[in-house]
């Protein structure tokens, strides 16, 4: 009997022979790319609900979260594709590009929280953020989900307070706040080996590192550290934007992607 690989829940916008794979941020889902997709009718766009998100089951902790997310994204990806990731999704995108560079036409990373990159570069901004992140992890481990979400959203949200968001959105994020702690080994310690010598330097596809001018300072520190090691990387900053660019500045993000896709 032939067994077909399980296809995870995902969304597809538009049609065409060439496709881009879009990987969302933590505590979101595939629909987070909807506004960007409205500005890119020329390209087929595929966005999975990543492990523990959207229509996927809640993450059960049996597998490493980054390993599972990367494996499932590869299973959904076409043979050759443009690759876009935001926040945690950007760290998965970077891992995919390092693993199978021959499949990736272009790579766009929107503020990957690879804190280990800033630490390895000796950037003083790492220590300042590390203390904040450890507090969030402590709140999660102590079962204080609401307080952890408030702290996390205050750093990485869209500028609105939780009180301004729909209750269902707050409930959705609070139920998944434990995923933030689960990411620590990769984001803080580089458990996935994204920073091994020669890896970033060997990426030959066009790379854009996109960030918001008003994002937490650690975001710029990470982008600087990555840009210093990626020979074909172009660093772009969107004025007036914070971390949640795909939601708050979809037209600007789409404009960057249009250039990356050669449209």
Structure tokens, 196 = 């091994």
User: Could you list the residue range(s) of the whole structural domain that residue 217 is in?
Assistant: 10-121+187-261
- The answer to the question of residue 210 being in a domain is yes
Cβ-contact 256, 108 below 8 angstroms: yes
The whole-number average pLDDT for the span 131-141 is: 96
The whole-number average pLDDT for the span 181-205 is: 97
- The answer to the question of residue 21 being in a domain is yes
β-pair type (233-238, 207-212): parallel
Residue 89 has pLDDT above 60, yes or no: yes
pLDDT exceeding 70 applies to what percent of the chain? Answer: 98
- The answer to the question of residue 47 being in a domain is yes
Residue 3 has pLDDT above 80, yes or no: no
- The answer to the question of residue 116 being in a domain is yes
- The answer to the question of residue 25 being in a domain is yes
How far is the C-alpha of 105 from the C-alpha of 263, rounded, in Å? 13
Span 199-234, pLDDT tens digits:
999 999 999 999 999 999 999 999 999 999 998 899
Neighbouring residues of 255: CB distance < 8 A, sequence distance ≥ 6: 39
Residue 6 has pLDDT above 80, yes or no: no
- The answer to the question of residue 251 being in a domain is yes
Structure tokens, 260 = 């990356």
Give me the number of domains the chain comprises: 1
Residue 1 has pLDDT above 80, yes or no: no
How far is the C-alpha of 149 from the C-alpha of 169, rounded, in Å? 12
Confidence class of residue 24 from pLDDT cuts 50, 70 and 90?
very high
pLDDT exceeding 90 applies to what percent of the chain? Answer: 95
Tell me, rounded to whole angstroms, the distance of Cα 97 from its chain centroid: 13
- The answer to the question of residue 174 being in a domain is no
The pLDDT mean for the chain works out to 96
Measuring CA to CA, which residue among 79, 81, 70 is closest to residue 46?
A: 81
How far is the C-alpha of 217 from the C-alpha of 215, rounded, in Å? 6
Please tell me the predicted confidence (pLDDT) of residue 2. Answer: 42
- The answer to the question of residue 59 being in a domain is yes
- The pTM is what? 0.96
Please tell me the predicted confidence (pLDDT) of residue 4. Answer: 46
Please tell me the predicted confidence (pLDDT) of residue 25. Answer: 98
- DSSP of 107-141: EEEE----HHHHHHTT-HHHHHHHHHHHHHHHHHH
**CATH number, domain with residue 58:** 3.40.50.1820
Structure tokens, 263 = 């449209």
Span 144-174, pLDDT tens digits:
999 999 999 999 998 889 999 999 999 999 9
């Amino acid at each position: 009997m032939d067994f077909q690989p399980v296809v995870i829940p995902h969304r597809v916008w538009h049609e065409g022979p060439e496709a881009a794979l879009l990987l969302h941020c933590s505590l979101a889902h595939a629909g987070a790319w909807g506004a960007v997709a409205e500005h890119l009718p020329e390209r087929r766009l595929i966005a999975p609900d990543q492990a523990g998100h959207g229509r996927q089951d809640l993450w059960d902790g049996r597998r490493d979260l980054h390993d599972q997310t990367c494996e499932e994204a590869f299973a959904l990806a076409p043979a050759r594709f443009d690759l876009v990731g935001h926040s945690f999704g950007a760290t998965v995108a970077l891992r995919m590009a390092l693993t199978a560079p021959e499949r990736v036409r272009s790579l766009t990373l929107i503020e990957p929280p690879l804190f280990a990159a800033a630490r390895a570069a000796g950037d003083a901004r790492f220590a300042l953020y590390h203390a904040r992140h450890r507090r969030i992890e402590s709140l999660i481990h102590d079962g204080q989900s609401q307080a952890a979400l408030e702290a996390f959203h205050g750093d990485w949200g869209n500028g609105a307070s939780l009180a301004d968001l729909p209750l269902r959105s707050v409930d959705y994020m609070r139920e998944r706040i434990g995923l933030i702690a689960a990411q620590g080994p990769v984001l803080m310690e580089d458990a996935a080996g994204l920073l091994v010598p020669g890896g970033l330097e060997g990426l030959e596809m066009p790379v854009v590192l996109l960030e918001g001018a008003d994002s937490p300072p650690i975001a710029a520190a990470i982008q600087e550290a990555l840009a210093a090691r990626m020979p074909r990387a172009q660093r772009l900053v969107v004025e007036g934007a914070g971390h949640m660019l795909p939601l708050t500045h979809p037209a600007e993000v789409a404009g960057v992607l249009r250039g990356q896709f050669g449209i």
